[in-house]
Structure 1
Amino acid sequence: MKRYTLSVTSPEYWSEIHDALIVDSNQDGIPDRKITCSDCKEHSPTRGTYELTEAEATEIGNHPHVEWIELSPTDHPGYYPNPQPATKRFPKDVKIYRDLSTAANQPPSSPTSAEINRTNWAVKRVGIDTNGDFYGTATGQVGVRTSNVDFSLTGKNVDVIIQDSGIQQYHPEFIDGNGQSRVSDIVLDGPYTIDPAYFNSNSLTYTKADGRVGIATTAAHEWWENTSKRSGSFSSVGTVAIPDAYTMNNAMGIGGTESGLTSGHGTSCAVALAAGNNFGLAFEANIWNMPGIGDAVSLGIEANYDLMKIFHQNKPTNSTTGRKNPTVVNGSWGYQAAFSSGNTVSYKFQGSTGTFTGNASVSNQVTAMKDGLNNQVTGAYRSWSTSSRSNSIDTAASEMMATGVIYVAAAGNNNQRLGVGADDVDRLNYMSDNFYSTTDPRSEFPSGTVPCNHRDWMNPQGNGFDSTTDFHPTICVGAMEEYVANGTLPYSGSTALAETKASYSNNGPGIDVWAPADETLSAGTNGVSSYEDFPRVDDGINYTSSTTGSDYFDSNFNGTSAAAPVVTGLIALYLETNPSATSRQVKDFLFEQGSVVVADALYADQYSDDSQTTYWTGSYNMRGAQKRILRDKTASPTEPSVKGVTITGISFKQS
């Protein structure tokens, strides 16, 4: 049920149509029920807004006295273009990098001014319907292009949380027009955002390197841990234990390039299409750091979920907008299970049970399924994305989702089929976790086994799952390969000009949307060598210890970890104009307005016959996933169309 605005052909017909709608009328062309008028528009002689189904709107639109009917732009602004004209993202055309594996296509080791504002292929790709709309007939490893990007939304007044390894807060990608970082920390800055009066009145603040207000680390810890160390109005929000290792240096770094970060993953996620100045869609969003995966702060996932929940529930009203900022969380991580080559692995597969040896050759569908998995665990033979094995963690995640947090999850990098829906044939599949010797606590899984092929059991891909309605509020994102098929590669017989899933990406109907990922240029992290790939030219200006040289880096970022932030960025744009949207409304937007389903010839599905073992062993198989690619239509300079609704007598244009 949505709200539709209609206009009669002449004022003399207004009472006839309006009165027939708001009573249980049997008039031809009018639904046979009492319709709610949500806005009678007494000031207008011809218009009114009503709560209708799509079928009812179509029926009313055929009435001879109805001039037009459309989704209400007031109640459904996401279906219409932003009224401001499309604007070019950069002052002039910039370099757009796609292939980063070929030396000739990489950013230079000694960057010049030509590298200023450079960006990645994902920013451009989500602004077009098909790859050929910008890249033409180029195939293979596509080199750098020079162009610009349209935009109309920026993610302003939206809180984007990066639940990951930590973020290097003073990287140039995060510095706003005032010279201040847009990155804050849930633990160390969240208390001041929620309860500033307490810290101001007790002289517990300091000035950060960029001029922002910070609070003493000890005071921040105490606010979370002790109800007497906060204002009385927040005494009942609960407590969370914070490890001593949770310091500003370990969580986000201090003084520019200096940090105790042990991984660059979180920094790359925050930038890669989520919220970076050049690399992200939501480049004016507020970025919040929530380390808990491969981090240096020793914080667990259950505490992560609790902290984000409390932050979301207690954040203040934004004085500019008059409402609380919406919250979208990016989760580019997951849980793994694994086995070694010589292990005897117990399984359940599509209703049948048995065992196989880890390195057994492919002889049936089960051994094909395990053989097609991409190992992600050092020392193991094969691994797969699975559950948290913890009721506490799963419940904490569900509680967070119930408060209205929007969650975007990376699908995983195991080339694994993810099912969705109660009737999916792989819903109860499991394998024994010989590597970690763990068990999923739910009764569906025998001792020593964990689920392997369905989102219902997974964390974070299944966060907030409602078994009553069979609805998954979390958005699960698959990774696109940067390589464009040429008929020979990435596999023999591939359709020329087709894009593909990344060979490692999880797949299946549990994938909500595909997003650019492989070889994505993103922000690097100083002191972490694997994230110091390409020096930047805009160094020496933002809280660094040097005025020359390559103080900051960009990185070659890959995986579904890179795909999820692309979607997070687009969701932030949607929330900018729809701040009260629920998870279901966000998904409706994503499916109806935030993506395109491309033709079969434009997105590869190498082996689609599920009766063959190649269905499981192939690296470029969709396994039931839709060919749905993320699309940012808010920036399009062309006239938009509204899916499922016929609009007559009115035109929308951006100039």
Structure 2
Amino acid sequence: MPEFNEREYNVILHNGVDYDAFWTDLQEITNKDGVPNRKVQIANPRLGSYRQTHYWLTDTEKEELLNHDSVLDIEIPPEQRTDIAKSHDAFYSGSFTRNPSLSSGDKNWGLLRCNSKPNTYAGNEVVNETYDYTLDGTGVDIVIMDSGVQTDHPEWEDINGVTRYTTIDWGSIHTGFTQNANHDRDNDGHGTHVAGIAAGKTFGWAKNAKIYSLKISGLEGSGDSGTGIDDSYAFDAIKLWHRQKAIDPATGYKRPTVVNMSWGYSAQFTGGSTSYAVRFRGTYYASSTIQASYGGELNHFGLNQFAANIGALGTWKHPVRVTSVDTDLEELIDEGVHVVVASGNLNHKIDVEGGTDYNNEALIKNTTWKYYSRGSSPYSIKGFMVGSIDEDQIQSGSDYVDKRSNFSSHGPGVNIYAPGSSILSAVSNTSAFARGSYYHNGSYWESILNGTSMAAPQVSGVVALYAQSSPGLTPAKMLDVVIGNCSEIIYNPTEELSGSFSLQGGLPKMLHNKYGQNSPLSYSGSFTTTTDISF
């Protein structure tokens, strides 16, 4: 048992060090510099991780270990922290061209848009065309790491009416925890919507991929608390599952795994009730200066208000990086898993190391400086970090150009964009979002939602098509190939003012499905978008 002055810490190592040697030194009496001179007790062995183990440590021992050359960071496990929160922030599209009573035959407009590099809509709101496709994700596994998935929704049926949803006991694979009996349900609706975009038979790209759900704790819907899996166990379970996959004799490779993560970590503070300050591009701004010279508007410094009239200056929210979660993401990639992450809906710039905004900080509650231009975890530029394209188009002469959604994160740290505004897909029967009847079966539901949460599964679905075609692609090669095939026609003004839709130094990479051309298969329907802005 831990001593009274110890607490659980996650010790995270740099990539490529001698992991086994370090863990052995930490767990034995070695008299070596930089490690406690006692047998340290393990709190969580992190069965799927090479670089992380949770130990019972004193604060003094933690500080001593942080100086060790092999140690990247030491953190309280994120599920035990109270200063950060996990969310998806998707929202219902109440001002779109349709209400929740959806028209028969309507589809996810991203299918048609990303099947062509030129803008298919060209100023039209509705295009009745065929979504042509050659591949359907056969032989690929897609894991929806989210609020859960409604297992019996008809969207998961294959062409023979057999469900492609596969129930999996992640606890049995991991062996270190027991999966809740109500894990396989979705009381929120978000995870079901995401799954439909990636792999639904009507709304999705990978219409014959297998679909798995890993409900992550903190995203469960109303009345579903405690049915999800904590981050540490969740990531390790997927690593172990993919690691244990057998080689498919037909391809010579494991079945490809694509993991979609349409969520992220953030923190918030109330400007009117706490002291605060910012360091923006190397210059310090006190709260008195911000109020006197900038009217208290923190958006001048890249921080965005999300709830007005709370305190004198409102409530402000910013993305948060968590080293352990980012390490888990990198370990998934190292295992050969293709990861796709929503970049976030806070309209923040995500910079890269060495960039002008990378070290921007906010002083929260007059005690803690937090970086706010580095994006939210999970994050790794080695994976797909997805921004959202809006349903509105920009008219430039006779051409129509895509623009990013006004809520989407952007900047050099976002490496691909896909349609994420007003996306139609399935939702669960217990969805928290406004919804209409699913037109294939009135006993089920569908809805139109907005968010980078909706853009990410567009990418996941297309990645599954590439993986079907080339199952041996490494994550690094997959990233190169998919981004290399992107179109580059996103509206990107040079000014960086709020509302300009600038990518703020990011590349205009728009998802494109190269396998949608000259196809023997087709999918017809009404692909609806809008256009009402001209420049």
TM-score, scaled relative to structure 2: 0.71
Q: CA deviation at 1:496?
A: 7.2
Tell me what 1:556 maps to: 448
Determine the C-alpha separation between the residues in 2 that align with 1:523 and 1:496: 33
**Per-residue Cα deviation, 1:231-255 (whole angstroms, up to 9, x for no partner):** xxxxxxx643235xx22xx3334xx
Spell out the pairing of 1:423-502 with structure 2 (5 A cutoff): 423-434=354-365, 448-455=368-375, 458-462=376-380, 472-485=381-394, 497-502=400-405
What's the CA shift for 1:355?
2.9
SS in 1 for 2:276: strand
> Residue in 1 aligned with 2:246?
316
Shift of 1:507: 0.8
Whole-Å Cα distance in 1 between the matches of residues 298 and 309 of structure 2? 21
Structure 2 CA distance for aligned equivalents of residues 267 and 358 of structure 1: 46
Match of 1:410 among 342, 346, 349: 342
Q: Which has the higher strand share?
A: 2
Report the counterpart of residue 137 of structure 2 in structure 1. Answer: 155
1:626 aligns with 507
Query: Equivalent residue of 2:459, what SS?
Result: helix
Matched-pair contact (CA < 8 Å) for 1:317–1:323: yes
User: Shift of residue 354 of structure 1?
Assistant: 3.9
**The one of 261, 269, 277 aligned to 1:331:** 261
Contact 2:330/2:382 (CA < 8 Å) preserved in 1? no
Distance 1:252 1:377 in 2: 37
Corresponding residue of 1:63 = none
Distance 1:496 1:591 in 2: 23
8 Å contact kept, 2:298–2:304: no
Cα distance in 1 for partners of 2:371, 2:205 equals: 35
Q: Structure 1 residues 307, 371: CA separation in 2 closer, same or farther (over 3 Å shift)? A: same
The alpha carbon displacement at 1:328 in A equals 1.2
The AA in structure 2 aligned to 1:387 is R
Within 1, Cα distance between the matches of 2:364 and 2:135? 45
Alignment of 1:342-357 (within 5 A): 342=272, 343-356=274-287
The RMSD of aligned alpha carbons is 3.0
Match of 2:47 in 1: none
Which residue of the partner structure matches residue 201 of structure 2? 277
Alpha-carbon separation, structure 1, partners of 2:327 and 2:281: 28
Q: Which amino acid aligns with 2:191?
A: G
**Residues 397, 108 of structure 1: CA spacing in aligned structure 2 closer, same or farther, 3 A cutoff?**
closer
Among residues 321, 328, 350, which one is paired with 1:387 in the alignment? Answer: 321
**1:32-47 correspondence to structure 2 within 5 Å:** none
- The offset of 1:523, in angstroms, is 0.6
In structure 1, distance between residues paired with 2:146 and 2:138: 22
Shift of 1:284: 0.9
Please tell me whether the aligned partners of residues 206 and 461 of structure 2 are also in contact (alpha carbons under 8 angstroms): yes
| Match runs of 1:112-191 below 5 Å | 115-116=104-105, 118-131=106-119, 134-138=120-124, 142=125, 144-186=126-168, 188=169
Q: CA deviation at 1:135?
A: 1.9
User: Is there any run of 5+ residues in structure 1 with no aligned partner, and where?
Assistant: 1-98, 191-220, 225-237, 254-260, 438-446, 463-471, 488-493, 540-549, 610-614, 639-655
Given residue 428 of structure 2, which amino acid in structure 1 is its aligned partner?
Answer: T
Does structure 2 retain, via aligned residues, the 8 Å contact 1:163–1:330? yes
Report the equivalent of 1:523. Answer: 426
The residue aligned with 2:487 is 596
1:401 aligns with 2:333: yes
Quick one: structure 1 residues 164 and 619, their matched pair in 2 at CA, closer, same or farther if it must change by over 3 Å? Answer: farther
Shift of 1:176: 1.6
Structure ID, larger Rg: 1
The residue number in structure 1 matching 2:45 is none
Instruction: Report the Cα offset of residue 359 of structure 1.
Output: 8.1
Residue 552 and residue 172 in structure 1: after superposition, are their counterparts in 2 closer, same or farther (change >3 A)? same
1:573 maps onto 2:460 in alignment? no
Post-superposition offset of 1:590: 1.7
Within a 5 Å distance, the mapping from 1:192-207 to structure 2 comes to none
> Which runs of 5 or more residues in structure 2 are unaligned?
1-91, 520-535
Q: Percent identity?
A: 27
1:353 Cα deviation after fit: 3.0
Aligned runs of 1:174-253 on 2, under 5 Å? 174-186=156-168, 188=169, 221=171, 223-224=172-173, 239-242=175-178, 246-247=180-181, 250-253=182-185
Greater CA drift, 277-286 or 337-346: 337-346
Whether the aligned pair in 2 keeps the contact of 1:374 and 1:415 (CA below 8 Å) is no
Q: Does the 8 A contact of 2:136 with 2:208 survive in 1? A: yes
Separation of aligned partners in 1, 2:296 and 2:513 = 39
> What pairs up with 1:371-382 in 2 under 5 angstroms?
373=304, 375=306, 381-382=315-316
Moved more, 362-371 or 475-484: 362-371
One-letter code aligned to 2:111: V
AA partner of residue 557 (structure 1): L
Aligned to 1:22: none
Shift of the 160–181 alpha-carbon distance from structure 1 to 2, 3 Å rule, reads same
With a CA cutoff of 8 Å and minimum separation of 6, indicate the structure with the bigger relative contact order.
2
**Contact 2:187 2:428 (C-alpha < 8 Å) held by counterparts:** no
- Residue 625 of structure 1 deviates from its aligned partner by 1.6
Alignment match of 2:440 (pick from 538, 544, 563): 538
1:276 offset after TM fit, Å? 0.8
Q: Which amino acid aligns with 1:604?
A: Y
1:498 Cα offset (Å)? 3.1
